[in-house]
Amino acid sequence: MGILAALAGFIRNRSLQKMIAKGELDKMPEVKMVLDCGADSCELDEGGSCNLDCMTPIIKKDIDYYDDEELDVYKGKASNQYTDEEAEEFRNVFYTMQEEDVPGWVKSLQQRELNIPDCMKDEVLMVLREIRTKK
């Protein structure tokens, strides 16, 4: 799974570089996480903060876990501070869940103050976009 994710990231970056070379883009786009949380959408900035007022559905007393309680040890850790081994723990959970569970898992991480490792944001964003286009 890690190799597949790295390959997807490589292909994405290569195609973006070609677009920059052709003049279709000025610079590499900034990676943002997008959640569907009851409002039209919720765009997260680099720090994982929601820019829209759509947090109400996320803030609830009962947190849904996705067989990932072991990730709670990373509460509050910055998304750019994960080691490869720590990021792999997130990947193991991410790639063993059903695609339709990904939005709920991202919400669960946010509720638990867990930041997705930077090296995984493209992968998660890609799945969230696929889910959104299927709706």
Task: Please tell me which residue, 35 or 103, carries the higher pLDDT value.
Answer: 103
* AA identity, residue 77: K
Find, among 40, 11, 17, 39, the residue nearest to 29 by Cα. Answer: 17
Find, among 124, 122, 123, 119, the residue nearest to 108 by Cα. Answer: 124
- The whole-angstrom separation of Cα 48 and Cα 43 is 9
Reported as type and span, the H/E element at residue 42 is strand 42-44
Query: Mean pLDDT, to the nearest integer, of 119-134?
Result: 88
- Residue spans per domain, the chain: 1-29, 56-134
pLDDT tens digits for range 8-39: 778 888 888 888 888 877 777 665 554 544 44
Beta bridge partner(s), residue 13: none
In angstroms, the Cα distances linking 67 to 7, 76, 96 are 27, 19, 10
User: Helix or strand or coil: residue 93?
Assistant: helix
pTM score above 0.85: no
Is the pLDDT reported for residue 116 higher than 80? yes
pLDDT in the model for residue 114: 93
**CB-CB contact of 107 with 89 (8 Å):** no
